[in-house]
Amino acid sequence: MYRYLKPLLFSFQPETAHRITVSQLSALRKIPGLTKLMSKSWSYESPVLKTEKMGLSFKNPVGLAAGFDKNGSYVDSMRLLGFGFIEVGTITPLAQPGNDKPRLFRLPEDEALINRMGFNNDGVDRLVDNLKILKKQDLVIGGNIGKNKVTPNESAVEDYLICFRKLFDYVDYFVVNVSSPNTPGLRSLQEKEPLTKLLGRLQEVNRRFPRPKPILLKIAPDLNQPQLDDILTVVSDQSMAGIIATNTSLDRSGLHTSPSKLDQIGAGGLSGAPILNRSAEVIRYIRENTPSHFVIIGVGGIMSAEDALRIMDNGADLIQIYTGLIYQGPTLVRQINKAIMLRRQQSL
């Protein structure tokens, strides 16, 4: 069905299409009896898919990446697609509008997106309100946290701590986002000294709770090897649960989209098929240089079940999708879970 709806959705501006899609899904969910039908159509259930990581039980290893549902408004709707976990955010202490529109662009020739959203969200208090009324059931929820645009990097730690404390009772794990290219100066927080300070303070607060939560770091695909080595040292020293690899890229080499169109679009982070190879490389390097209990969530360029298996073969324990969902439709989750199930059955 999605192949018939896709041309219509792609006739709208990307943000408008996103709003229409989630609104319609939410409306359909309220029709009696339709929820079970939609879940049955899109989900793929098997005990073989159950995955235990970070002290959490995932009904399957396929998650929705941060950015799709920043404010936690559509968790109940998106769970119908069969995700094992959903990551909300990136959230900041205060509501902020993000960058000026247009700020989200499709590159159909490359099955990619360019975005410069800029952490647009309704603020952490609104997210908490939405999560309070959520019936979690067997769904794992992650909270992706960031800093407000107006907050200088020297004060960034406090923004992350505000989000961490307020969300603590409502999410199962946290993700520290210092890798978005769309907040000025944010990526400099990936450097060794500021990153050590940030993660150290978060873990210090985390350990004060009776049951600390897993904290992961989301990194950019554009890091060179020395930078990646520094990050691996810091996350090891700070006893982080894992890494999410990778965020969007600033590299636009090898794209089929015309240079003139790319120039017209301007700045932003690239996601989708073109970053799969780099994400896979980064994941393999992390896996080769971290202990087996260190969790890697692979994201970036997963557009098919084959892509998902490749990312997992390279060392990812769990995966996330976003751009693939836009280009391939809701059945992508089912296709990936089925492929993972068949792979796991073969190894039994």
Catalytic residues: 180
Closest C-alpha among 264, 299, 257 to residue 279: 299
> Cα–Cα distance between 143 and 140 in angstroms, integer?
10
For residues 127 and 292, the answer to whether their CB atoms sit within 8 Å is no
Give the closest residue to 255 by CA, choosing from 114, 100, 103.
Answer: 114
Yes or no: say if 110 and 140 are a contact pair by the CB < 8 Å rule: no
Written as six digits, the tokens of 31 are 């029709």
Contact 163, 132 (CB under 8 A): no
| C-alpha triplet 8, 87, 316: angle, nearest 5° | 100
CB 184 within 8 A of CB 211: no
Question: How far apart are alpha carbons 169 and 235 in whole angstroms?
Answer: 23
Q: Longest Cα pair distance anywhere in the chain, in angstroms?
A: 55
